[in-house]
Structure formats: C-alpha cells, structure tokens
Amino acid sequence: MPYQIEVTPRRQAPRGMARVPGGPFLMGGDDADGRPGDGEGPVREVRVDAFLIDPVCVTNAQFATFVKETGYVTEAESIGWSFVFRPFATGGIMDASVPQAPWWAGVEGAAWRTPEGPGSAVGDRQNHPVVHVSWNDAHAYATWAGKRLPTEAEWEKAARGGLERAKYPWGDELSPKGRRRCNIWEGPFPGAPGKGTVPVKSFQPNGYGLYNVSGNVWEWTADWWGTSWRDFAENPTGPEVGDAKVVRGGSYMCHDSYCNRYRVAARTMNTPDSSTGHTGFRCAAIL
C-alpha cells in the first residue's frame, strides 16, 4: 500500500527540543475524577532516563515538508476516509460510526490536508497540529525526522512539567484565576459547536516548556495499550493487548460531562491504523 513506503531518517534530532531530566516520578492517578477502567492507577514510582521532546505537536507545515520530501501517503489518504466530528463535516458522510459516540462520522476525503472533508483545507492552519494521522503515520514522520515517539512514561513525565501528583500540567485547578489554560470543549457537549484545534503554542507552557499537553489533540505514544500498567484482561471492553496504542492528553472535544481525560494521568487508546480529526503527535529523542 502507498503509505508503507520506506522512510529514510533525514538527520539527527534538531535543536529546539525540550530537555526532560531523568529519574523517578510518580506516574498515574487515583483521584475521584479518574477512570479505573482506563488503567490510570495505581500511582506508582516510575524511572526514566533523561530525554528530549518537542515543545509542541507536529504542525501542518512540518508534516507538509515531510510529505513533499518523501512522497508519503497517509493511511487516511490511502483508505479514502477518516473520522470527523459530525458537526464539522463538510460532506462525504459515510455509513460509518463509533459505538456510543454518534457525534463521530466517517467522511470520504477527510485527511490531514482536508480535515473536515471535501472542500476543507489547512491553508490558514499551518501552525495548528496535524490531524488525521495514524500511529503508523506518526512513526514514519518521527523516523524521517531522526526522532521517535515518546513512551507513555516519558510523555507523562514531560507533561507534568516537574509537578508531583498535580491534576493538570499547571496545578490542580482547571482555570486558575478564571483563566482557561487548555483547549477543551466549552459549553454543553455535543450541543454547542466547538472551535476545533488551536495553534500549537496557544496557552502557557508547563515547567519543562511543553505547550498544549492537555487538550487540543490526543497524542500518540510508543506503547501498546495495557503493557505499561497491568494485564488488559482486567479491562475486557476494548482491544486485546497489542491491538492498540496508547494516546494521551485529551483533545478539544474533551468535556467533564463524559470525557475528562485532559488530566495528566488520563489515558486511552486507538488502533495503530486509525485516524481522527482530534489526534496528532509530538516526537521525542535520546539525549
């Protein structure tokens, strides 16, 4: 298939990445907002080596450079469709939906260049995170860039920004002094249209200099679902171990009424060939 082209690493990881110190940290959560079925807990000490991570998610402009230099075809482009938040769809709605999530629609022609479907474009969103990229697409980009996807533990340590046991990258209050610190759904969901993605450097960075690790877009990690925490047999409602990759951070569609996974400890998964209009990625590298 076209998206399975060989990708040659372009260069060593460039400057501009954030340095995250090595050592132990407390990973996971056990607060009242947690979701036990997602395997957020128990809280445990995890040790990681020092590493580098992108301060922001890969943008449409960066992904366009990758595609121009390699001729890469994403899985959504190859398959011919991807999942779009139904109110955003510009046409091409298929008979494809997500169980218990009727606000998602399979849309013919939806891909990273046309995120809402036919007639949409990313011309004025060059500094927004690229979306409609599968795990396989993200891995291909990271390889070309001389980087890799972060492990789940690395992602969480970086997202915490040096804070211990805090609910969010900036502390325990969602909107300190009434100021929103992340791009999540505002108003009743899904009744009121949201604004979709925002630029990758929106809001203040955390203590390690990372932007938008809560909300905006879900971010792919290197880990298979279930392998980092416990035997997936305890959570039999989803894919088996090895069938799905962990995504972290939440997205612009998260809302405390049904999906408060914009907390740092929150996690969920998707299959490596899946793509949606609210999933992107950032890269990591060895020091």
Domain range annotation of the chain: 21-72+127-287
Whether 278 contacts 85, CB under 8 Å: yes
Whether 248 contacts 280, CB under 8 Å: no
* Beta strand pairing call for 218-224 and 279-280: parallel
Q: What is the pLDDT of residue 245?
A: 95
Question: What is the DSSP code (8-state) at residue 169?
Answer: T
With tokens 């040790």, the residue in question is 47
Q: What is the pLDDT of residue 235?
A: 46
The helix (run of H) or strand (run of E) holding residue 76 is: helix 75-79
With tokens 């932007």, the residue in question is 211
With tokens 């050592």, the residue in question is 23
The helix (run of H) or strand (run of E) holding residue 246 is: strand 245-248
d(CA 287, CA 58): 20
Question: What is the DSSP code (8-state) at residue 150?
Answer: P
Q: What is the pLDDT of residue 155?
A: 98
Architecture of domain 21-72+127-287: Alpha-Beta Complex (3.90)
Please give the chain's pLDDT, 287 residues, in tens: 444 556 766 666 667 999 999 999 999 998 888 877 888 989 999 999 999 999 999 999 999 999 999 999 999 999 999 999 999 999 999 987 677 788 899 999 999 999 999 999 999 999 999 999 999 999 999 999 999 999 999 999 999 999 999 999 999 999 999 898 999 988 777 766 668 999 999 999 999 999 999 999 999 999 998 754 444 444 444 444 568 999 999 999 998 777 789 999 999 999 999 999 999 999 999 98
Q: What is the pLDDT of residue 251?
A: 96
The strand order across the sheet containing 284-286 reads: 18-20, 51-53, 284-286
Please state the separation of Cα 94 from the chain's center in Å: 24
Whether 145 contacts 70, CB under 8 Å: no
Please state the separation of Cα 243 from the chain's center in Å: 17
List, in sequence order, every residue forming a beta bridge with 84; answer none if it has no partner. Answer: 105
Whether 58 contacts 283, CB under 8 Å: yes
φ and ψ at residue 139, rounded to 5 degrees:
-65, -40
Crossing angle for the helix pair 135-144 and 60-70, to the nearest 10 degrees: 70
Please state the separation of Cα 195 from the chain's center in Å: 17
Whether 279 contacts 58, CB under 8 Å: no
Whether 191 contacts 261, CB under 8 Å: no
Q: What is the pLDDT of residue 101?
A: 81
